[in-house]
Amino acid sequence: MENSIHQIIIIGSGPAGLTAAIYASRASLQPLVIEGAQFGGQLMQTTLVENFPGFSKGVQGPDLMLAMRKQAEDFGTRFVAGDATKVDFSKRPFTVWVGEQEFKAQAVIIATGARAKWLPLESAERLRGRGVTACATCDAPFFKGQDVLVVGGGDTAVEEASYLAKFCNKIYLVNILDSLQASKAMQERILGKPQFEIILDSSVIEILGGGKVIGVKVKNNKTQEEKVLNATGVFIAIGHSPASEIFKGQLELERDGRIKVIDNTRTSVAGVFVAGDVADNKYWQAVVAAGFGAMSALDAQKMIESSHATIG
């Protein structure tokens, strides 16, 4: 497999990568997916997903990704376990390495996703998916009538808090700095409203609970005073990190590390396409990433057909 020239290599196996694989394989392009050390992206660490179309009662994140992977495989997609470690986009065919293995392709779709920045706490990791999450849009309905806490002070944190207000009784917003960094327009959504309590210059030092969150311990960074807030949900909104490290020097990136989109799904290198959260700085939703994946596969297919690229 390593010595042949594939028509399409897809790097990543979350909703964007697997949807791209489904479209590409149905077009008889025999895509090769480099799926990472663990396939499925962030949804593999998610429990019930209620906002993906077609599942009226919701679906477990891992079950959704397994179904998408099987669909791609049934259409002829081939998979390589392991992370892409290096790429060469300086000439076609492009080269992608997985450790010492070398793969070549006429087109590449990058769907490596982004990682939500996480609190460096054992309790945050232990309770991930059990009351600790990084997506209000995904999980807010599970906390109807409850008190919850949002970590962060930028636009994303305030937007998360505003969305949670539709479901939750009280929202604590805890920011490590002494002021909010969100835009004035965003801040006006929450300032002065009794449903929100803003706690500045403070850090979350422990999330309490065994199988689920029962409270959050917060420390004031100036006074060192500690207190426990009776929140049953924690929403971490301190940013995302695009998984784009190996593409530095190969593609044009935005200042925040996202891959720059030149036209729809095209990148700064002709023949290299992008899909999903590695280029998205706004939505971070599985269904959006899936749509992005379909677009990238259609764009790659058109490019391959127009250039009459074939497997060497």
pLDDT tens, 228-247?
999 999 999 998 889 999 99
Which CA distances in Å does 197 have to 32, 150, 169, 180, 303? Answer: 49, 10, 11, 13, 52
Q: Which of 288, 300, 302, 301 has the alpha carbon at shortest distance from 113?
A: 288
Look at residue 294 in the predicted model and tell me its pLDDT.
98
Mean pLDDT value of segment 75-82: 96
Q: Tell me if 113 sits within 8 A of 243, measured CB to CB.
A: yes
216 contacts 229 by C-beta, under 8 angstroms: yes
In the chain, residues under CATH classification 3.50.50.60 are: 5-115+240-307, 118-236
Task: Summarize pLDDT for 182-207 with one digit per residue, the tens.
Answer: 889 889 999 999 999 999 999 999 99
pLDDT for residue 309: 43
- Mean pLDDT for 100-109 is 97
Our answer to whether residue 139 is catalytic in this structure is yes
Encode pLDDT of 132-153 as tens digits: 998 888 899 999 999 999 999 9
Query: What is the side-by-side strand order in the sheet with 215-220?
Result: 202-208, 215-220, 226-229
The structure tokens 């594939």 sit at 6
pLDDT at 78 over 50: yes
φ, ψ of residue 34 in degrees (nearest 5): -90, 105
pLDDT band at 2 (very low <50, low <70, confident <90, very high): low
The rounded percent of the chain whose pLDDT value lies above 70 is 97
Buried b (16+ CB within 10 A) or exposed e, 176-212: eeeebebeeebbeebeeeeebebbbebbbebbbbeee
CA distance 301 to 32: 14
Which member of 63, 74, 88, 139 is catalytic? 139
pLDDT given at position 43:
84
Model confidence over 118-130: pLDDT tens digits? 899 999 999 999 9
Task: For Cα atoms 134, 127, 208, give the angle at the middle one, nearest 5 degrees.
Answer: 110
Q: Which residues contact 71 (CB under 8 A, 6 or more apart)?
A: 18, 22
**Residue 270 phi, psi dihedral angles, 5° rounding:** -60, 130
Task: Give the pLDDT confidence of 279-309 residue by residue, as tens digits.
Answer: 998 888 899 999 999 999 999 999 999 986 4
Q: Which CATH architecture has domain 5-115+240-307?
A: 3-Layer(bba) Sandwich (3.50)
Given the residues 74, 88, 135, 263, select the one marked as catalytic.
135
* Predicted local confidence at residue 3, as pLDDT: 60
Conformational region of residue 131, where left means phi above 0, alpha means psi within -120 to 50, and beta covers everything else = left
The residue ranking higher by pLDDT, 154 or 88, is 88
Decide if 233 contacts 144 (C-beta within 8 A): no
pLDDT score at 311: 42
pLDDT tens figures, 148-172: 999 999 888 998 999 999 999 999 9
Is pLDDT at 312 greater than 50 in this prediction? no
Task: Lowest mean pLDDT of 55-59, 251-255, 267-271, name the range.
Answer: 55-59
Tokens matching residue 305 = 């057909």
What is the architecture, at CATH level 2, of domain 118-236? 3-Layer(bba) Sandwich (3.50)
Provide the whole-model pTM: 0.76
Question: Which of 63, 74, 83, 138 is an active site residue?
Answer: 138
DSSP state of 291: H
What's the confidence (pLDDT) of residue 117? Answer: 84
Six-digit token string for 146: 């409850």
Cα(54)–Cα(98) distance, integer angstroms:
35
Q: Are 5 and 104 in contact (CB under 8 A)?
A: yes
Instruction: Check if 277 is active-site.
Output: no
* Mean pLDDT across the chain: 93
